[in-house]
Structure 1
Amino acid sequence: MNRSAPAPAASAPPAVAPPRDGLLGRLGVWSVHHFKTVLVGWLIVVIGLGAFAPKVTSALSGAGWQANGSDSVKVRTLAEEHFAGNASSAIQIVVHADRPVTDPGVQQVVDRVTALAAADSRISTVVPPQPGATISQDGRTAVLLAGAKASPDDMVRAADDLKEPLRELSGGGVDVTATGASVLWSDFNTANHDAMMKSEIMSWPVTLAILVLAFGSLVAAGLPLLLTMAGLAASAGSLVLISHLFPVSIWAMNFAMMFALALGIDYALFLVVRFRAARAKSERGSDSSRSVAETMDTAGKAVLLSGATVLVSLSAVMLVPSPAFRSMAGGIMLAVLFVLAATLTLLPAVLGRLGHRVDALSLPWAKREAQTSPRFEAWGERLWKQPVRWGALALVALLALAAPVIGLRTAMPSINVLPDDASAKAGYTAVQQAFGDGAPGTLQILTPTDQAAATAQTVANTPGIAGVMPAMPAADGANWSMIQAVPSVDPSDPQLGHTVNTLRAELPDHTLVGGASVENLDLQHLLTEKTPLVIGVVMALGFVLLLLALRAPLIAALGTAASLLSTGAAFGVARLVFQDGHGSGLLGFTPQGFLDGWAPVFFFAMIFAIAMDYTVFLLASAKEQYERTGDPRKAMVGALSHSGRVIFAAAAVMVAVFFTFAISGPLPPKEMGIVLGVAVLLDAALVRLVLLPVLLRLTGRAAWHTPRWLDRILPNIPFSHS
């Protein structure tokens, strides 16, 4: 009898191996499991470095706006050494009276002025007013020269300390004001620092409101502030320590504050949104470390790449041999490094400890379970169906806004950027009214003593020179003589540049032309010369980083090139506003007829860094979807669905922060606020959320293609967690 075969035993489903964590995933898990170690480590860093942070405003310098190696800087150095500090960094003290300065009462004020200035250790000698040179023709205005005995940065600090005590000597029909380059930078830095602090305070309520709306939870909304405060305290303290090694511009701290806030929000948004999605997929009550690992291996890689792109973009500014620019770029890079380190260690540790409590204190309408944005998913589908229509509209809008950039003019800022009550501006006006339009921009010409007579004759015969003072031999007997020449035009007049160029071409060999106004001209020339190099290096390095991460040369090139559109449009708008004056009444400023000279180099690097930040978030998300599905449509639509809301919210915060600078303080912060705010707005709204997705749609699979020869040499960096 046949026996039926026994029924096979039910086989258990094959075990699914847990995903293998990558390097950042393992770092995130380690941070979760060593929460106390990470927390104590960051407390040590923040408290240790933060202890120095309160000294940041007094420790950082105010000068450094110069072209290293230029003739004008050489003149200043030689004047400090051989002419008793009669250099561009010397402090000019203007005494204006309602009666002749020879009056005994006025002379008493002059004596008190001399004693006050001479008591400062940073002043070498105080040169009294000289008839025919520093006393006006009507005899009612006199200028005393407080020679520089310290570095230009310390002379700005001297101006900080002296300008108010000098002003207090006014009275009885006598006005005392300090002016000159050191006082100008003192007033300039003070006004801009106060404006930036005011803008930061104004932006906080708006920032907090946007964060709460974006995260939907008060607890989650507080996480960016954790990163920002940690990064800001550490970077501020570090800048103070670094300032003991070499001068660091006070603007380095101002920009570091802004970038620490902006990037802290960006990075926290990206990681927290991804952590919530990972938590939603996991079983209730499961270990949060697995969600952290997935978050770090996906969003964490995008954050790391974004941070590297920001650092690379700003590093190109180091190609400009100007201390102010290098220290500003260095300050921002330091803040980015600390924020990035906190994002990759402290934030995952806190997320792992919070777990589901990250959604604590949620808003009533917040949807915790939402992993994607239906609205941005629908927008992605619309772009997929009508790519040419939407892409053309975005492109035309960007090109139209960028068109005015063709006529953009740049120059160093004029005295008009200072408030009317600033000491430097009051003294500048008094000197101009008493001695002529060009007197505040007096040229200092150094020539070998045996050529002094010929040099003075050539200077006197040069068009654009209103007057020439007799040659003054070096105080220490060196073979140099100084000839001071008064131009016929205001220092901000473009004609002064032609006069300086003529002098340099026609004066005898080994003769150097300098002075405060010439230092500005030389810095402007340097910036104009270096701008193409900086732009080229920034774009090349940005492309290389995208290529290394995405392994897709076509979309890396398109993503890099697209950043030029928003940048060009922002500068086009800047030309209309600040050069042509459209909207100047609304913003409360008088247009100078040009954009400040540092804007093309420095703002380009900042805009490109922010733009690539969003590019990385979008393309990293798209690559992750493409690695999972191999479908270009799901990659593009999925990228917008997963990261569109993050990009939109992060951009909204940045725009709010930047635009507060446009409505407060003097002109330079307004320029920064408008240029950066418009750039971020256009980049997020038209480039990252329209044009770049359209390019992904039009290029299809070719966007992600890697040539074989390139595949062999590029590292393999997956953005999916599998």
Structure 2
Amino acid sequence: MTTTTDTVTGAAAAGTASAPPPPPGALARWGGLMARHMKPVLGVWLMLLIGLGAAAPSVFTSLAGAGWQANGSESVVVRDLAIEHFGGNASSAIQVVIHTDDGTIGDDATTAVIDEATDILAADDRIADIMPPTEGVTVSEDGATGILIAGAAADADDMVRLADDLADELTALGDSAAGIEVFPTGQSMLWSDFNHANHDAMMQAEMMSWPVTLLILVLAFGSLVAAGLPLMLTIAGLVTSAGALVLLNMVTPISVWAMNFALMFALALGIDYALFLVARFRDALRTATTPAEAVSVTYGTAGKAVLLSGVTVLISLSAVLLVPAPAVRTMAVGIMLAVVFVLAASFTLLPAVLGALGNKVNAVSLPFAKKQEHRSPLFARWAAGLRRRPLLAVVVSGAILVLACLPVFGLKVAMPSISVVPEDAPVREGYHLVQEAMGDGAPGMLQVIVDAADADTAAATAADIEGISAVTPAMPATDDSGLVMFQAVPTVDPSDEAMNGILADLRAELPDSALVGGAPAENIDLQTALDDWLPVIIGVILVLGFLLLLIALRAPLTALMGTVVSLLSTGAAFGMARLIFQEGHLSGVLGFEPQGFLDGWGPVFFFAMIFAVAMDYTVFLLATVKEYQEKTGDARLAVTEGMAHSGRIIFAAAAVMVAVFFTFALAEPLPPKEMGIILGVAVLLDALLVRLVLLPALMLLAGRAAWWSPAWLRRILPDISFSH
């Protein structure tokens, strides 16, 4: 009886008996070079870790806290004009809410508090003009609540840092004995609290994910030494990328969120790449004469897949750089830096360590590991089952994914509301206090800057617009610019969907010289930019992903199938996001208050991230299938062997990613919860339904057509071989 393995071996032998094996490729030679020069490689990495690691601890205090804006938008112009001509009374100004239960704003007790707050703020050169609570403008009708406004003399990032520095000191001015409460609030304070809450939650999630990750790796490898290598790779990538972000921040502001995402992706991808490479190295040790030769074989085969995967991730994320929003762009930069350093470690540090370890990579093995082989009998049987019923597998898995995609058509997005910060955060308490005292729209006043000649007309027009409850007196510029500014108070909460219509009406009906901004306008302008760029980014990612697979595989149909099925898993994840975060299903179990929409940056950013991860698994599977296609020439047998040799790695890598992402679902703040659940669901669906069912079943149905390519295309594409 001839087994499948015998068939592969025999076919390979038949195809190579008459010709000598091809010389090692560039990556194979590179891997062998690193393996033979461990000391210099370790020396370079030690210098990198010391140099960049020295900067890494300051990463969260150094990076920028703002940047959630659409550069060039009308609202950003208004903010800049307010800083330049109106004493810094911009959306980034610090607002201090003073509330008294027993007196009124302006009595001796509240005046003393206001004076103390003024002294604290005036001592900082990031503050411009300080405007005390003013009757009819920033004092409630009952006189119990007032707002002190400290104008911004610095950019939005420095104002968030100022909020970090002064929040506790300002809050401490409250006097419970006198019945006086003090709550610093405003957009800068909101971003400060928002960043701190999310940073703390993400760090806790990271710490929770490490032991779970180690357990999965030990089970996957069966060896403590082998399981430690992915963690080594991840730590090297994390430390160096954190230090690099601090240095880059000295050149251009980098959002603190960049490091949050870099942490998560370095852990996930570092483990993915190490799993694939270490598993292949352990298999290569069985036939290699030296560890260096085993490393060479590993990088001549699996190394190509890892490099292709890394390039695919970088290309997917690079599309996000098109969005004209600093925070969104630099989040992508953070992940890209992490991927670059993880790739660098994968192709230098890891082969050097593998070459030094040799067979010791299997040290401290669990009992079952002695029977473990690179070719998984379990996944071989799974692939054989798919081979018997490929059409049924396509119909069932495809139907499930399409059904999961359907809710995406009703998905709503908006920028985060005040509910994303903890209920006991001073910024949220001050926000609600202002609403109770002055109306729902008071925390989100819209700012109108207009030529003095048009000021009366603009104010009268604004007051008549539906959705505007009041207009404050005009404030002249502090210089001779000829501009005035007034505030238009909406009737609705700043995050209410109706705010979009109110802003549009103001901009349409006010005189041509008028510009409308303010915190709600900045959010709406950013959301508009994200919505406008989303189709472009999706198109760029899909086209570039397809072209990269086409170049690597030289198979148009397989490249198309790999791209389309990745899109299916991405759509399914967003369909689930609508059910959970917009409609609130499972909100009680997951412990969050649904906003009625998904955070606005989610579709752009999560699409790029999910597609990058999905293509990661696509590359691992298709590269292995192509390797056996090259060895055997049998398209269906290649799918079976590709599944047998990559299925366990994909499953283990997905298990690690799901564990990492789902730990973020336990976070209290909503954004990391959204991120964890959406990415976790995406990986789960992708690994179980797409990589292990739908894609291999489609390739089985396609047969030899999966690898067909017209002659003219083969002439212009490089011939990349995945077999050693």
Partner of 1:61: 64
SS in 2 for 1:51: helix
User: Where does the alignment leave 5 or more consecutive residues of structure 1 unmatched?
Assistant: 1-13
Question: Structure 1: which amino acid aligns with 2:128?
Answer: S
Question: Structure 2: which amino acid aligns with 1:323?
Answer: P
Give matches, 1:370-519, under 5 Å.
Answer: 370-519=373-522
- Runs of 4+ with deviation above 3 angstroms: 14-19
C-alpha displacement of 1:665:
2.0
Q: Provide Cα deviations, 1:149-185, integer angstroms capped at 9, x if missing partner.
A: 1110000000011111011111121100100000000
C-alpha displacement of 1:467:
0.2
Q: Return the match for 1:270 from 276, 284, 289.
A: 276
SS in 2 for 1:366: helix
Question: Structure 1: which amino acid aligns with 2:298?
Answer: T
Q: Provide Cα deviations, 1:589-623, integer angstroms capped at 9, x if missing partner.
A: 11111111111100000000000000000000000
The 1:368/1:358 distance shift into structure 2, 3 A limit, reads farther
* Distance across 2 between alignment mates of 1:496 and 1:35: 61
Partner of 1:3: none
Partner of 2:90: 87
SS in 2 for 1:502: helix
Question: Structure 2: which amino acid aligns with 1:584?
Answer: S
Does 1:343 pair with 2:343? no
C-alpha displacement of 1:16:
8.8
- Structure 1, 320-329 or 471-480: larger mean CA deviation: 471-480
Partner of 2:699: 696
* Distance across 2 between alignment mates of 1:708 and 1:46: 48
Give matches, 1:296-335, under 5 Å.
Answer: 296-335=299-338
8 Å contact 2:185–2:426 — kept in the other structure? Answer: yes
C-alpha displacement of 1:507:
1.1
SS in 2 for 1:52: helix
Partner of 2:183: 177
Q: Return the match for 2:262 from 256, 267, 282.
A: 256
Give matches, 1:221-232, under 5 Å.
Answer: 221-232=227-238
8 Å contact 1:280–1:371 — kept in the other structure? Answer: no
8 Å contact 1:194–1:665 — kept in the other structure? Answer: no
Give matches, 1:640-655, under 5 Å.
Answer: 640-655=643-658
8 Å contact 2:83–2:90 — kept in the other structure? Answer: yes
C-alpha displacement of 1:19:
5.0
8 Å contact 1:49–1:234 — kept in the other structure? Answer: yes
Q: Provide Cα deviations, 1:505-563, integer angstroms capped at 9, x if missing partner.
A: 11111311000011001011111111110011001110111011001111001100101
Q: Provide Cα deviations, 1:24-72, integer angstroms capped at 9, x if missing partner.
A: 0111111011111111011111111111001101110110000011000
Partner of 1:10: none
SS in 1 for 2:719: coil
Partner of 1:191: 197
- Structure 1, 15-24 or 90-99: larger mean CA deviation: 15-24
**What is the Cα-based RMSD across aligned positions, in Å?**
1.1
Does 1:553 pair with 2:559? no
C-alpha displacement of 1:105:
1.6
* Distance across 1 between alignment mates of 2:486 and 2:147: 18
8 Å contact 1:220–1:272 — kept in the other structure? Answer: yes
* Distance across 2 between alignment mates of 1:612 and 1:548: 14
Percent same amino acid among aligned pairs? Answer: 62
Partner of 2:542: 539
C-alpha displacement of 1:706:
1.5
Q: Return the match for 1:636 from 609, 626, 639.
A: 639
SS in 2 for 1:492: coil
SS in 1 for 2:466: coil
8 Å contact 2:592–2:668 — kept in the other structure? Answer: no
Question: Structure 1: which amino acid aligns with 2:273?
Answer: Y
Q: Provide Cα deviations, 1:378-412, integer angstroms capped at 9, x if missing partner.
A: 00010011001122111111111111111111111
* Distance across 1 between alignment mates of 2:371 and 2:155: 58
8 Å contact 2:454–2:513 — kept in the other structure? Answer: no
* Distance across 1 between alignment mates of 2:343 and 2:691: 22
Give matches, 1:137-286, under 5 Å.
Answer: 137-171=141-175, 172-282=178-288, 286=289
Question: Structure 2: which amino acid aligns with 1:56?
Answer: V
Q: Return the match for 1:129 from 130, 133, 143.
A: 133
Partner of 1:33: 36
Question: Structure 2: which amino acid aligns with 1:167?
Answer: T
Partner of 2:669: 666
Give TM-score, length-normalised by structure 2.
Answer: 0.96
* Distance across 1 between alignment mates of 2:489 and 2:374: 69
8 Å contact 1:402–1:572 — kept in the other structure? Answer: yes
* Distance across 2 between alignment mates of 1:322 and 1:379: 46
8 Å contact 1:445–1:482 — kept in the other structure? Answer: yes
Partner of 1:9: none
Does 1:97 pair with 2:103? no
Q: Provide Cα deviations, 1:671-696, integer angstroms capped at 9, x if missing partner.
A: 11111000000000000000000111
Partner of 2:123: 119
* Distance across 1 between alignment mates of 2:701 and 2:636: 10
Question: Structure 1: which amino acid aligns with 2:480?
Answer: G
8 Å contact 2:312–2:615 — kept in the other structure? Answer: yes
C-alpha displacement of 1:371:
2.2
* Distance across 2 between alignment mates of 1:102 and 1:524: 40
8 Å contact 2:70–2:325 — kept in the other structure? Answer: yes
Question: Structure 2: which amino acid aligns with 1:199?
Answer: A
Q: Provide Cα deviations, 1:337-360, integer angstroms capped at 9, x if missing partner.
A: 000011011111111111111000
SS in 2 for 1:186: helix
User: Where does the alignment leave 5 or more consecutive residues of structure 2 unmatched?
Assistant: 1-16
C-alpha displacement of 1:17:
5.2
8 Å contact 2:591–2:668 — kept in the other structure? Answer: no
* Distance across 2 between alignment mates of 1:705 and 1:289: 36
Aligned residues: 705
Give TM-score, length-normalised by structure 1.
Answer: 0.97
SS in 2 for 1:281: coil
Partner of 1:75: 78
Q: Provide Cα deviations, 1:416-445, integer angstroms capped at 9, x if missing partner.
A: 111011121011011111111100010100
Partner of 2:291: 288
C-alpha displacement of 1:281:
2.4
8 Å contact 2:450–2:513 — kept in the other structure? Answer: yes
Give matches, 1:514-663, under 5 Å.
Answer: 514-663=517-666
The 1:20/1:368 distance shift into structure 2, 3 A limit, reads farther
* Distance across 2 between alignment mates of 1:633 and 1:564: 24
The 1:19/1:647 distance shift into structure 2, 3 A limit, reads same
8 Å contact 1:277–1:369 — kept in the other structure? Answer: no
* Distance across 2 between alignment mates of 1:467 and 1:713: 67
8 Å contact 1:90–1:146 — kept in the other structure? Answer: yes
Question: Structure 2: which amino acid aligns with 1:247?
Answer: P
SS in 2 for 1:483: strand
C-alpha displacement of 1:133:
0.8
C-alpha displacement of 1:369:
5.5
C-alpha displacement of 1:102:
2.3
Partner of 2:13: none
